[in-house]
Structure 1
């Protein structure tokens, strides 16, 4: 038999096939001792009737779908599409709330994270508002504040802070105020003008004297011009022991330790930021030169002390 004849024969058989539930019910045979023949389509045994026939009819569509090539649903099985979606993660379906497991709200399912919104940029202050903000901050600071700190607090560009401070300082000087804005100790702070110092001292001191002694002033001057310097070097310059004076200067915050000398291991001392603040200096480089205060016969005095 050729292939074409075989296909025609199979097609005729498929067309002539009648499902069991559509076949006519044969008449009930009389009870005999022999068992009825088996139904070739339903397997061995007696033909089903009544409830059994109804169950077979209800299961027929599923059987027909399976014969057409569709996979039979197995309890507890996971659909391939759902497995692929769970593996790669996906967006939430319409109507599904978002949960801890991911964008779809299913525990264990990774969803696409929403991008974090970028913070809004700080508003740029105009010159008048920037000037007022700087003046308000400078009135409450207890030590010089740097331009970078002011820029961070006001959330403005550091390039705007320096020129604005210079403009404010120039305005105070031109208006003749009793105070001025100066750069000191690496920052900016408001100070009273030197010409009004006597009135300020009269108000602040009220008869109390907190001046440094002559020995303390000499020791502080040696440290300021020779720093970093050891105790023995200070004593050699002054010609007396200065341990007690150094302790006094350290306790008042004008002098501090800054390491040890490599050769002898002695402590080194230098001036502090408070020292610059009290003198109104920005750095030790602003100290006045010593040459105008030296005597003319300094070399003869040095030779005489040897």
Structure 2
């Protein structure tokens, strides 16, 4: 009689899995259809996309998002479309739209009147010192980029610029030829609130900007 081989003996020693026992995929923790969770090294793809898109002022390309999140572009593109469809289906107050070669959050059309009312009511609130300084920089250096405003003030001014745009005091004015940075200028509403006929009636620069601004400007020129 032939003796059993080593391979046959090994197979015979491994009993089949009991009914109801977890398979290989379950044992490894991979559960099909489960929602994405935070990874040990950082947030998941969808969470990362949401976090970035919440702070951008203009559409961001899929390639750029893929580079920041260190994920393949096709995965980022698929996740963006899934998120967009989910927000629309859920009837959220915002949409995730693909516009001008990039992605950005936008207020849903049905909620536009509420946002307008909120912004209009906010016009009556007084501007902070930071907002006044930023507005003065834009008024006297327009058209000017956010980076330029931040360099003059010495602090990041992105949030303040968003407030001024929302209040209708500042608006986009094209892009800088070299850097493609968005430029900003004051609006006709700014002139109305200041009681000016045009920018030539702006008062002297010193009372509105930090004491060292003119010195900084001289060094930069």
TM-score for both structures, normalised by structure 1: 0.28
TM-score for both structures, normalised by structure 2: 0.39
Q: Which has more radius of gyration?
A: 1
